[in-house]
Amino acid sequence: MRAALGRAGSAVARGARSVLSTAGVRGLVLETAWTATHLATYPLGIAREQVRDRQGPNTLDRLSPVQRGLVLGDVEAAGTPIVLLHGWVDNRSIFTVLRRHLRRRGFGRVVTMNYSVLTHDVPRAAARLGALVEALCDETGYERVHVVGHSMGGLVARYYVQRLGGDARVHTLATLGTPHAGTRAARLFAGRAVAQLRPGSPVLRELAGPAPGCRTRFVAVWSDLDAMVVPKSSARLDHPDLAVRNVFVRGAGHLSLPVDGRVVHEIVETFAHLDAGGVTPSAEAGERG
């Protein structure tokens, strides 16, 4: 009992230091502002996205210098499709800022996938993601795609990669605030999908199993101000068979991760630099202050 109380006290103290720091206060303000904005734009994200391909031989002259730089410097990187996958009880509107930045950088095909936790749990949503990826590859002629998964969306994409053979299609998977080791906050809610986010769930045990030869590279972004991932370090991805770069971002809330400038820059630059084998150059990244 004393040991448990001591651990709880330490966790509370660490949380207080994070919130009361300059970065923590700034992060809380951003999280509050973005939450209000997201609630206002949420209805717009319910409808299916109208996909537009911005690449093509006749459109290069209409691109900005930054976009042309990516297209001319690495046409494969610019053309590789990117799939954005939202989290629990959310929709594609969470990616409004990130999608705009990716397109401004020169990425020609950025699509989102909506799913409902009322009809999809992690494995079912992963199967649907697989169908979307296959359709994208058939349509564009590219053999691989990138995926960004926020919160539960990261687990959906990871299940596709590790359990459904998606590593043959996904070059890079970036997860934002994804409870790779589960989150105790999921115990506050009911439902099949949210139960799979609890520590020790059958789905998480599956993902913790061996994944030899996985060809996908991973970037896992986590923060000290993420109130939905408990403990915070559960958003790190630590697996002996996976090539992972864990990126710590100080003072970013759960909903703010897809709009945080540091996170957006990390994703954009990662996708702009392809490697043939899909491996990560370095195993660990430092703090993004």
Which residue bears the tokens 């990126």? Answer: 247
According to the model, what pLDDT value does residue 146 have? Answer: 98
Contact between residue 101 and residue 258 where contact means Cβ atoms under 8 Å apart:
no
Average pLDDT over residues 107-130: 94
Task: Report yes or no: 237 and 207 within 8 Å, Cβ to Cβ.
Answer: no
Q: How confident is the model at residue 28 (pLDDT cuts 50, 70, 90)?
A: confident
Q: How confident is the model at residue 129 (pLDDT cuts 50, 70, 90)?
A: very high
Lowest model confidence (mean pLDDT) among 73-77, 259-263, 279-283:
279-283
Q: Tell me: the pLDDT tens digits for 93-110?
A: 999 999 999 999 999 899
- The Cα 155–Cα 126 span in angstroms is 9
Cα–Cα distances in angstroms (integers) from residue 190 to residues 69, 185, 198, in the given order: 48, 11, 11
In angstroms, rounded to a whole number, what is the distance separating the alpha carbons of residues 72 and 130? 30
> What is the length of the chain?
289
Who wins on pLDDT, 8 or 78?
Answer: 78
CA angle 253, 259, 265 (to 5 degrees): 115
Model confidence at 47: pLDDT above 90: no
Q: Which CATH architecture has domain 2-271?
A: 3-Layer(aba) Sandwich (3.40)
Work out the mean pLDDT of the chain and round it to a whole number. 83
pLDDT greater than 90 at residue 182:
yes
Confidence class of residue 273 from pLDDT cuts 50, 70 and 90?
A: confident
Residue whose tokens read 């923060």? 223
Domain ranges of the chain: 2-271
pLDDT band for position 20 (50/70/90)?
low
